[in-house]
Amino acid sequence: MNVGLKILGFGSGVATVCLISVPESSSAFEQIANSTIFCKWRKSQYHRADNARMTMRAVALKESLISAEALFVSDSVDYPPAPGKDQAIVKVAYFGLNRMDIMQRQGTYPVPTGAPNTLGVEFSGSIVTIGDGTESPLQIGDVVFGLVAGGAYAEYVLCSTKLLMKYETPSAESTFTQLSAGGAPEVWFTATQALLKIARIHENKDRVKCVLIHAGASGVGIAGLQLARAVLGPEAQIFATVGSDEKVRFVESVMGATKGINYKKYDFAKVILEYTSGAGADVVVDFIGQEYFMRNIAVAAMDAHIVMLSLMSGSVVDGRVDIAGILRKRLTIQGSTLRSRTIAYQSDVRALFETYGLPGLVRGEFVNPVDKVFAWTSVADAHRYMESNVSMGKIMCVVE
């Protein structure tokens, strides 16, 4: 028997090695493939004479700035701590931008307790370290995509294995590349949470006939339109508000919306009530808040469910607000966030996504379109592009 040490990966102070014990007749490939004992070694776990910090590259913020110009790639950000049980460190290949990243940069989004200050909640990459005692089918070297509370704008990210999904080669008809997968978790989990975890449309198909999704050309909107259509079927009426005629054409011709509504030209409540002969929407998914609050109540059907996921226009409704419609229509208005939820809750959402969303992405029945790709050294440009509100799909960064 030969005993050898195979270095599987090394970067920013982390070596992943494999201790092998195999017959002399085995080929080099078989020695690696049949390895059964894994050793994860981090230099920072050992006392060093110079007490040097272990660092990596990550996107940081210049002090006193909140504009996109504040963003830059630093080479002196602390490397993630050693993973514990049910945790892993992933070498990031791609990360996706989300609206909350801009809000966090501006200081208006509260970071969950314990989350790193580095921006970013979704990514794809490869596992370099898995915590001791972790019970997961995932292995070192697996290509994965997943969700974190923060820290994805970096070379390496510490994450829960319960929120990681192994990336499998999709069908020939699919556009679900590793790049696209890196921009899927946050938007598809959020859409899944709103429509399935909260509104339970998959359990109420006989009642839910009409759905309204605001910000229909956003990442969450695109995911939500496809989920709603797949779950409710071709007869359902699915509406989307968007900010341009080009986006109207996009959500109608590509995303399967019954009708897209340019909110800059039309009152969505009036359009939908006319289209539905006064019945209104059974489910409303809203990110806007203040500006849409009263119109959401107006457009809601009897016993409708309004799911509020963000407050992009503000949280204070101006003027004398008549809330009688909430009682008269027996409305359920429910607010929710995903980032601050427990791992257990997010794992439930992941399970729903793996049932209702991921198979369609892999088979090519759904799409997670990538609008534009930036080098992560141009992350400021990526943020400015998101702030321009012209994108139709995910904005991605490549970690080089």
Q: Give 209-227 as a DSSP string.
A: -EEEESSTTSHHHHHHHHH
Same domain, 263 and 380: no
Q: What's the CA gap between 178 and 94, in Å, rounded?
A: 8
Q: Contact, 94 vs 144, CB < 8 A?
A: no
Q: Which residues does residue 119 pair with via DSSP β-bridges, in sequence order?
A: none
Give this prediction's pTM. 0.86
Q: What is the pLDDT along the chain (400 residues), one digit of tens a residue?
A: 444 444 444 444 444 444 444 444 444 433 443 343 333 334 333 233 345 679 999 999 998 789 999 999 999 999 999 999 999 999 999 999 999 999 999 998 889 998 999 999 999 999 999 999 999 999 999 999 999 999 999 999 999 999 999 999 999 999 999 999 999 999 999 999 999 999 999 999 999 999 999 999 999 999 999 999 999 999 999 999 999 999 999 999 999 999 999 999 999 999 999 999 999 999 999 999 999 999 999 999 999 999 999 998 999 998 888 999 999 999 999 999 999 999 999 999 999 999 999 999 999 999 999 999 999 999 999 999 999 999 999 999 999 9
Would you mind telling me the total number of residues written for the chain in this entry? Answer: 400
Q: Classify residue 346: in a domain, yes or no.
A: no
Q: Contact, 206 vs 233, CB < 8 A?
A: no
Q: What's the CA gap between 104 and 66, in Å, rounded?
A: 9
Contacts of 363 (CB under 8 A, 6+ apart): 170, 171, 173, 174
* Domain final residue pick, 289, 310, 335: 335
CATH number for the domain spanning 128: value is 3.90.180.10
The phi, psi pair for 241, rounded to 5°, reads: -95, 140
Q: Classify residue 361: in a domain, yes or no.
A: no
Q: Classify residue 17: in a domain, yes or no.
A: yes
AA identity, residue 135: E
Query: Where is 89: in which H helix or E strand?
Result: strand 87-96
Q: Shortest CA distance to 228 belongs to which of 212, 241, 242, 217?
A: 212
Same domain, 375 and 293: no
Q: Contact, 202 vs 356, CB < 8 A?
A: yes
187 burial type by CB count under 10 A (0-12 exposed, 13-18 middle, 19+ buried):
buried
Q: What's the CA gap between 371 and 242, in Å, rounded?
A: 16
Same domain, 191 and 328: yes
CA 366 to chain centre: 16
CATH number for the domain spanning 300: value is 3.40.50.720
Q: Give 225-236 as a DSSP string.
A: HHHHHHHH-TTS
What residues make up the domain containing 93? 59-183+369-398
Coil, helix or strand at residue 274: helix
Same domain, 104 and 179: yes
Domain count, the chain: 3
Same domain, 122 and 15: no
